[in-house]
Amino acid sequence: MVTRRDPALPEPALGPDARILITGGTGFFGRALLRHWQAGEIAGDAPPRVLLLSREPERFREAYPDLAQRPWVQCWRGDILSPGSLPQEGDFTHVLHAAADSTLGPSLPALLRHDQIVQGTRNLLDWALARAVPRFLLTSSGGAYGPQPETMPFLEEDYTGMPDPMRAANVYGVAKRAAEHLCALYQDRWGLEVVVARCFAFVGEDLPLDVHFAIGNFVRDALFGDSIEVAGDGSALRSYLDQRDLAHWLVTLMVQGRAGRAYNVGSDQALSIGELAHLVRDLLAPGKAVNIHGRAPAAGAKSRYVPSIRRAAEELGLGVTVPLDQAIRDMGARLRAKAARAPG
């Protein structure tokens, strides 16, 4: 099923003259962007030319032929930790560096995860400089702020907290901070226009259902399980941005974000994990049991993780256009349709 973009959303001009290298392009962020441009194509907008960097492009082509076979999409086998594997020819107007996201990273050794985020970013910055690519968007994370103070309802971009660098478990957030600083150094030294997207939590048809994303697990349980399972006590606060809004925000940041600036990307509409589990149940599986196991949060777990989106709203006109209940309904409908089409 193709998502049709809301025509009321103003979209920054890219068009067929733009050529974008997307790292991590076969993951959640990349698929959200491809569906966004596919929807625009159906509406009559010419999409940009997109080169997806992937270590396993064949797997992506097999799993998502409707996206991989678009005439404006090309897959390239490469690894951000191997500079020689990056494309050596072609003129690019933008880099969207979305590799080393939070989906599979927790399964990697900490040092490898650090190298993937920090050295991978430096390799891409060097690549962009060598080819005179004018714009570079780094997808960072709200995890770069470290724990959100209980007295702070929304994390602002000028908050300078960070995870404790002496805890190996904080490698993701600490490395994201280092990657952001690398971007600032490259802009200062060479004038590369760099924008940072500090990404929070999301919902949508491409979100994994079997990792550490609570909303993905709840939707999976609602559609295919006997009950909806909440591992903790349900008190942690989160907010969720639909992947259609995510894609629109990333395009806007890539084209219009102020160079040398970080922007939070997410929703500022918070709810508890317990409330989320019951909302998913009510929307997708009324009457199904919700089991809250009540285990204490793990050490270092975020009890509140909610961004301020005032900067993105005031400077770029961005906001939440897909309400959470609609996002959950749409995600459920698309996953049910996909399950119905599956062989066997």
Position 170 in a domain: yes
* In a domain? residue 278: no
Backbone torsions φ then ψ of 247, nearest 5 degrees: -60, -45
Cα distance between residue 166 and residue 303, in whole Å: 21
The domain in which residue 82 lies consists of 19-203+243-267+306-322
The confidence score (pLDDT) of residue 294 equals: 83
Percentage of the chain beyond pLDDT 90 is 84
Structure letter (DSSP) for residue 189: H
The mean pLDDT of 113-136, rounded to a whole number, is 97
Instruction: Please name which of 304, 303, 321 lies closest in space to residue 312, comparing C-alpha atoms.
Output: 321
Nearest alpha carbon to residue 162 among 233, 262, 23, 258 = 262
24: amino acid identity, one letter = G
Q: Please give the pLDDT value at position 108.
A: 82
Residue 9 lies in a domain: no
Number of domains into which the chain is organized:
1
pLDDT digits (tens, 9 = 90+) for 139-197: 999 999 999 998 999 999 999 999 999 999 999 999 999 999 999 999 999 999 999 99
- Is residue 155, in this structure, part of any structural domain at all? yes
For residues 265 and 144, the answer to whether their CB atoms sit within 8 Å is: no
The Cα 159–Cα 220 span in angstroms is: 35
Give the chain's end-to-end CA distance (angstroms, integer): 20
- Tens digits of residue pLDDT in 279-309: 999 999 999 999 998 876 665 556 899 999 9
How much is the pLDDT for 300? 53
- Summarize pLDDT for 39-54 with one digit per residue, the tens: 999 888 899 999 999 9
Cα 150 to chain centroid distance, Å, stands at: 25
- Which residue, chain included where needed, has tokens 């009890």? 303
Confidence (pLDDT) at 170: 95
Run of H or E residues at 228: strand 227-232
Q: What is the mean pLDDT of residues 43-71?
A: 94
Note whether residue 289 is domain-resident. no
Is residue 214 included in any domain, yes or no?
Answer: no
Given this model, what pLDDT does residue 2 score?
A: 39
Residue tagged 């209940």 (tokens): 325
Query: What pLDDT does 7 receive?
Result: 43
Provide the mean pLDDT of the chain: 92
Closest CA to 265 of 175, 104, 138, 134: 138
Does residue 168 fall inside a structural domain? yes
Query: Does residue 96 contact residue 31 with C-beta atoms inside 8 Å?
Result: no
> By the 8 A CB rule, do 157 and 263 touch?
yes
- CATH number of residue 318's parent domain: 3.40.50.720
Give residue 1's pLDDT: 37
Residue 283 lies in a domain: no
Q: Which of 114, 49, 127 is nearest to 85 (CA)?
A: 127
Cβ-based neighbours of 116, under 8 Å, separated by 6 or more: 80, 81, 99, 100, 105, 108
pLDDT exceeds 60 at position 234: yes
% of the chain exceeding 70 in pLDDT: 92
Euclidean distance between CA atoms 136 and 97, whole angstroms: 8
